[in-house]
Amino acid sequence: MFIAAATCASILPAQLASGVGSTGALEFDSPSGLAFGGGHLWVSNEMGNSVSEINPTNGLWIATLNSKIYRFQRPTAITRYGPYLFVANAVGSVSELRASNGAFIRIISGARYHFVNPVAIEAAGTLILVLNAGRPNAAGTSAGSITEIRASSGSLVRTVSGSRFAFSDPMAFAVSGADVFVADKGDNSVTEVRITTGRLVRVVAQQGLSAPDGIAVEDGNAWVSDSASSAATEIATGTGTVITTVTDAEGSYGFGTPSMVIGTGGNVYVASPFGSSPMVTKLSATSGQPSWFMCNTNGPYYFSLLSAFAVSGSDLWVASRSGANSATPGARSGSLTELSTGDGSLIATVPIPTTVATTTTLP
């Protein structure tokens, strides 16, 4: 296994490679969301009020969209719907553009949408779902809600809110079939909502959930990252039953305030974004058994304040809001890391580091 510091070591051996590709004039500014569309990788830059377009095959910078026409204002998340991209802006709007060339389509905004601090956006059938963080208050704000938009026209379908949903600072959601599963950090719960009707299916509360920050659904199970307990909780989507909660008590998961989850190929990947050694952990979606965890101390990953995941084929892309750990001066405001989903080995870093860290490999 790789050993470079006691705080982080890969469970399975993996051959690390240095970053590849050319980045041109690439520079991020606190990347907050990732999405594939039109054959390209799109990155929302929250502090830069922009969206970057990257060629994922070679890391080449294609364009940065920052014209006032897009009205990007702290873009926090991005998703693809067919040939289009939808970008959630924290100020309370959604920008729509064409995935093939970044052409502007429309701005979706207005009081009727009840956008309040959007933190996540996902496509679901013919709809676009926007998750609004925060806690509803007596003034009747729609913080702590889901706004459903018709993708074809941008028209409002409904706002999902109310005390029965137990929203008290929802932070992430995952679409699975007819339902959306919402991780609520304030209520220590997961809420399941039927998308087509906005009807409450169930609220799974407590039962090991502790300040859940992220959620993904894979192979019939929902996996929730519990940031307060440095754990992950597995829930059966069909019944809402908590199956297990796995922690790093035995040192096998590498969790440290985990906050993001993505599922693909029968596995889930959990990101621990903070601390001296941010990391990504792979585990089975059905058994919860870990395969590996990778961080800055067991390879030249340059993770720093991990903020977003995206998967294309067998490649996992991870966004870092900061480039504090990067050897590339231009990456001080953020970077991307491309890993193999199979063994966690490094494929590329964007921008390319000026130096490559050394790794000690033991038999």
Q: What is the pLDDT of residue 358?
A: 36
Separation of alpha carbons 49 and 43, rounded Å: 11
Task: Provide the mean pLDDT of the chain.
Answer: 87
What is the rounded (10 degree) CA torsion for 158, 159, 161, 162?
-60
Lowest mean pLDDT across 112-126, 253-267, 271-285? 271-285
Longest dimension (CA), the chain: 62
Instruction: Report the amino acid identity of residue 208.
Output: G
* Contact partners, residue 235, CB within 8 Å, separation at least 6: 190, 204, 221, 222, 223, 224, 241, 242, 243
For 363, counting Cβ atoms within 10 Å of its Cβ (0-12 exposed, 13-18 middle, 19+ buried), the class is: exposed
Separation of alpha carbons 182 and 174, rounded Å: 7
Buried b (16+ CB within 10 A) or exposed e, 143-152: bbbbbbbebe
Structure token pair of residue 144: 């702590």
Q: How confident is the model at residue 197 (pLDDT cuts 50, 70, 90)?
A: very high
Q: What is the pLDDT of residue 138?
A: 55
Q: Is the pLDDT of residue 322 over 70?
A: yes
Is there a contact between 261 and 242 (Cβ–Cβ < 8 Å)?
no
Q: How confident is the model at residue 87 (pLDDT cuts 50, 70, 90)?
A: very high
pTM: 0.90
- Neighbouring CB atoms inside 10 A of 72's CB total 24
Q: Is the pLDDT of residue 19 over 80?
A: no
Q: Which CATH number fits domain 31-350: 3.60.15.10, 2.130.10.10, 3.40.630.30, 3.90.230.10?
A: 2.130.10.10
Give residue-wise pLDDT tens across range 114-173: 999 999 999 999 999 999 998 876 555 678 999 999 999 999 999 999 999 999 999 999
Instruction: Report the amino acid identity of residue 293.
Output: F
